[in-house]
Chain A
């Protein structure tokens, strides 16, 4: 793949030669994540988060498979089987806390990965397909995480399932039948729990498959880089191994330290206490909130409080919530500035910072009770979110005067080093 100067796989050991002639899998790995993949030499630490997302997915798969050996997906048993894991299974508490907090860590690194792509224009030609597949992964992650949160069958599991499937009930005419069909009943119960468990086990493997496509699509043009100019020759690249495996190894260490701090010393900090109360269809929690990684979208959902031209506010909220993600699929064509990196786009940079603050505000409001002033704040913040992508970015692309781009990656690196010296 990619550049003509890429190292070629040359097995020395007769056994490896024998395998290579029959199934060139080692050759494939060598070219994908080994010394055979030339990578721009100027990647900064923001480029660590792709690999970290892959690690987070692997941790979820391994802990999840073992947890499934002890978990009972039955409405009458689910809650107690989770407590059985916490109390009686050898190291069960470690597995369960690793899986629950692993989901949070997965979302943290994926959000950073996405915002890195947003700032450095990684979604632009010729990498649109990488961006689109990444968004597919993100949607699958959200579905998987939501269904996973239902499995412990606590109060937030039950009421979260009720609220989220209730969103489909907002669809005109066919909404209620769809909701009933999704749940396998009129309210979340055993049928819903079982299908959520089945899908929660299936979807991570679908994610893994799309991750392979994501990396495949990435390797056609090769990795993007902070300067945003394309690779011009061998002097611009380094082999992935050992240069970026070493850098990713260090990044992985930092990631695992953060993960360990959360897992061992604050394992319930990101969860909701109500989920330690068994699901009770007759008692509604005071505040139904999803997990923190859904808060920005939950704030957008709840920001729509007024019916417009007979369209119910709930339907508008649902459309906007899904729209807030769907619009990202059009981003490569909304932002048609030829300059990729935010470093050379002064106006874009200011709006990018504004977007980051805006999403944090949305997140805060999504976790807060649905009361004033949070609703008003989230309405303004949601308005900016849509305006940013649909109005501001196309305008900026049109009117901004970008800074001069470096001639090549090597030139950018040398210029930076001169300034530093």
Chain B
């Protein structure tokens, strides 16, 4: 019974699928999908090499500190970093006093209550606090940005394909919209208030170019702060905010791998030894 019923069921599935396939193929030929501006003009992120790449990668702390400076002086005006605490900055080479000072002098204060009246208030940040959001809430963020909420940056390099390269490409990718694009796709002209950027999924991003001039940030380590350099540095910094345990992972992985290679070699020798007198 199983085989005849199965045979009929199989025929039914095959018939339906091939019919669907032919239907799809016919409409694909007679009515091919129209080309879109996104498909034609969207660019893959540029090549970016960072010290943290590869199985032995370590963070370049000097670069992370520069990236942090860019975040502090430019990005933090609009973007939160809500999963990272000031105390975490110890990991990228700031000492306790510096972390305290950074928290204390942060441009946004932390929501709090007035200890005597219980009224809502704000206070200076401490190392134990997460980075405060530049906006009190989502509505305030949208209201200040033409209804486009600036995303949190904590996990940015893990929440986009090729995250670090994407951040770097996006920051350096602002350009005039190509005339050929507007000619071929008149409906895709960059709307008022948006900015053309071929690395952004739909080509038009609400964020205005944040890094516009060389020297916008003054690095204390003497590195020349070109737009390209600042973009690289902030991308490197955001790799750290998204994956702060990367070095422990790489280091631990090497140790585990060496142990496993030795153990597996011994395991193989034990196996050969046990089976030495058996034909198989």
- Give the interface of A toward B (CB within 8 A): 41-42, 80, 83, 86-87, 93-94, 97, 238, 242-243, 246-247, 249-250, 252-254, 256-257, 260-261, 263-265, 267-268, 273-274, 276-277, 286, 303-306, 308, 313, 316, 320, 323, 327, 330, 333-334, 336, 371-373, 375-376, 379-380, 382-383, 386-387, 389-391, 394, 413-414, 417
Among residues of A, the one whose C-beta sits closest to the C-beta of B16 is A308
Among residues of A, the one whose C-beta sits closest to the C-beta of B262 is A253
Task: Knowing A94-B252, A286-B201, A305-B20 are in contact, say whether A372-B33 is a contact too (CB < 8 A).
Answer: yes
* B248 interfacial contact with A, CB 8 Å: yes
Among residues of A, the one whose C-beta sits closest to the C-beta of B11 is A391
Among residues of B, the one whose C-beta sits closest to the C-beta of A266 is B55
Supply 26 A–B pairs (Cβ within 8 Å), ascending by A.
Answer: A93-B245, A247-B275, A249-B271, A250-B267, A250-B268, A250-B271, A252-B267, A256-B260, A264-B252, A264-B254, A265-B250, A268-B158, A273-B160, A273-B163, A274-B159, A306-B24, A334-B2, A371-B33, A372-B33, A376-B25, A379-B17, A379-B18, A386-B14, A390-B13, A391-B6, A417-B279
* 5 smallest beta-carbon distances between A and B, as pairs: A264-B253, A390-B10, A253-B264, A276-B159, A379-B21
* B270 interfacial contact with A, CB 8 Å: yes
In the bound assembly, the distance between CA atoms of A276 and B268 in angstroms comes to 40
Q: A372-B28, A383-B14 are in contact. List 18 more A-B contacts (CB 8 A).
A: A41-B280, A94-B252, A243-B274, A243-B275, A249-B271, A253-B268, A261-B257, A264-B254, A264-B256, A264-B257, A277-B155, A306-B19, A327-B6, A333-B2, A336-B3, A391-B7, A394-B6, A414-B279
Query: Smallest CB–CB gap between A49 and chain B, Å?
Result: 16
The reply to whether A306 and B20 form a contact with Cβ atoms under 8 Å apart is yes
Task: Knowing A260-B257, A316-B16, A394-B3 are in contact, say whether A42-B280 is a contact too (CB < 8 A).
Answer: yes
Q: Point out which of A83, A265, A327, A414 has the most chain B C-beta atoms below 10 A from its C-beta.
A: A265
Q: Which residues of A contact B7 (CB under 8 A)?
A: 390-391, 394
A-B contact count (CB 8 A): 167
The reply to whether B159 and A383 form a contact with Cβ atoms under 8 Å apart is no
Query: Smallest CB–CB gap between A318 and chain B, Å?
Result: 13
Among residues of B, the one whose C-beta sits closest to the C-beta of A94 is B252
Q: Which residues of A contact B90 (CB under 8 A)?
A: none
The reply to whether A391 and B14 form a contact with Cβ atoms under 8 Å apart is yes
Query: Smallest CB–CB gap between A239 and chain B, Å?
Result: 11
- Give the interface of B toward A (CB within 8 A): 2-3, 6-7, 9-11, 13-14, 16-21, 23-25, 28, 33, 55, 83, 88, 154-155, 158-161, 163, 201, 242, 244-245, 248-250, 252-254, 256-257, 260-261, 263-264, 267-268, 270-271, 273-275, 278-280
The reply to whether A249 and B257 form a contact with Cβ atoms under 8 Å apart is no
Among residues of B, the one whose C-beta sits closest to the C-beta of A249 is B267
The reply to whether B158 and A276 form a contact with Cβ atoms under 8 Å apart is yes
Q: Which residues of A contact B242 (CB under 8 A)?
A: 276
Query: Smallest CB–CB gap between B239 and chain A, Å?
Result: 12
Q: Which residues of B contact A394 (CB under 8 A)?
A: 3, 6-7
The reply to whether A330 and B271 form a contact with Cβ atoms under 8 Å apart is no
Q: Point out which of A276, A327, A372 has the most chain B C-beta atoms below 10 A from its C-beta.
A: A276
In the bound assembly, the distance between CA atoms of A379 and B16 in angstroms comes to 9
The reply to whether B13 and A320 form a contact with Cβ atoms under 8 Å apart is yes
Query: Smallest CB–CB gap between A36 and chain B, Å?
Result: 17
In the bound assembly, the distance between CA atoms of A268 and B244 in angstroms comes to 14
The reply to whether B270 and A246 form a contact with Cβ atoms under 8 Å apart is yes
In the bound assembly, the distance between CA atoms of A313 and B201 in angstroms comes to 30
Among residues of A, the one whose C-beta sits closest to the C-beta of B27 is A372
Among residues of B, the one whose C-beta sits closest to the C-beta of A388 is B10
Query: Smallest CB–CB gap between B70 and chain A, Å?
Result: 22
Q: Which residues of A contact B274 (CB under 8 A)?
A: 242-243, 246
Q: Which residues of A contact B163 (CB under 8 A)?
A: 273
In the bound assembly, the distance between CA atoms of A310 and B11 in angstroms comes to 19
The reply to whether B279 and A379 form a contact with Cβ atoms under 8 Å apart is no
Query: Smallest CB–CB gap between A58 and chain B, Å?
Result: 17
Task: Knowing A390-B9, A417-B279 are in contact, say whether A257-B260 is a contact too (CB < 8 A).
Answer: yes
In the bound assembly, the distance between CA atoms of A154 and B268 in angstroms comes to 42
Candidates B6, B13, B33, B267; contact of A253 at CB < 8 Å: B267
The reply to whether A323 and B20 form a contact with Cβ atoms under 8 Å apart is no
In the bound assembly, the distance between CA atoms of A42 and B278 in angstroms comes to 10
Q: Which residues of A contact B244 (CB under 8 A)?
A: 87
Candidates A238, A265, A303, A372; contact of B278 at CB < 8 Å: A238
Q: Which residues of B contact A373 (CB under 8 A)?
A: 28
In the bound assembly, the distance between CA atoms of A333 and B280 in angstroms comes to 32
The reply to whether B6 and A330 form a contact with Cβ atoms under 8 Å apart is yes
Q: Point out which of B160, B242, B256 has the most chain A C-beta atoms below 10 A from its C-beta.
A: B256
Q: Which residues of A contact B28 (CB under 8 A)?
A: 372-373, 376
The reply to whether A379 and B20 form a contact with Cβ atoms under 8 Å apart is yes
Q: Which residues of B contact A246 (CB under 8 A)?
A: 267, 270-271, 273-275
In the bound assembly, the distance between CA atoms of A55 and B271 in angstroms comes to 19
The reply to whether A257 and B257 form a contact with Cβ atoms under 8 Å apart is yes
Q: Which residues of A contact B275 (CB under 8 A)?
A: 243, 246-247
Candidates A257, A263, A333, A382; contact of B264 at CB < 8 Å: A257
In the bound assembly, the distance between CA atoms of A93 and B25 in angstroms comes to 47
Query: Smallest CB–CB gap between A153 and chain B, Å?
Result: 13
Q: Which residues of A contact B159 (CB under 8 A)?
A: 273-274, 276-277
Query: Smallest CB–CB gap between B81 and chain A, Å?
Result: 12
Among residues of B, the one whose C-beta sits closest to the C-beta of A256 is B260
Q: Which residues of B contact A313 (CB under 8 A)?
A: 20
Q: Which residues of A contact B16 (CB under 8 A)?
A: 304, 306, 308, 316
In the bound assembly, the distance between CA atoms of A83 and B273 in angstroms comes to 47
The reply to whether A372 and B253 form a contact with Cβ atoms under 8 Å apart is no
Q: Which residues of B contact A390 (CB under 8 A)?
A: 6-7, 9-11, 13
The reply to whether A304 and B245 form a contact with Cβ atoms under 8 Å apart is no
In the bound assembly, the distance between CA atoms of A268 and B10 in angstroms comes to 38
Query: Smallest CB–CB gap between B167 and chain A, Å?
Result: 13
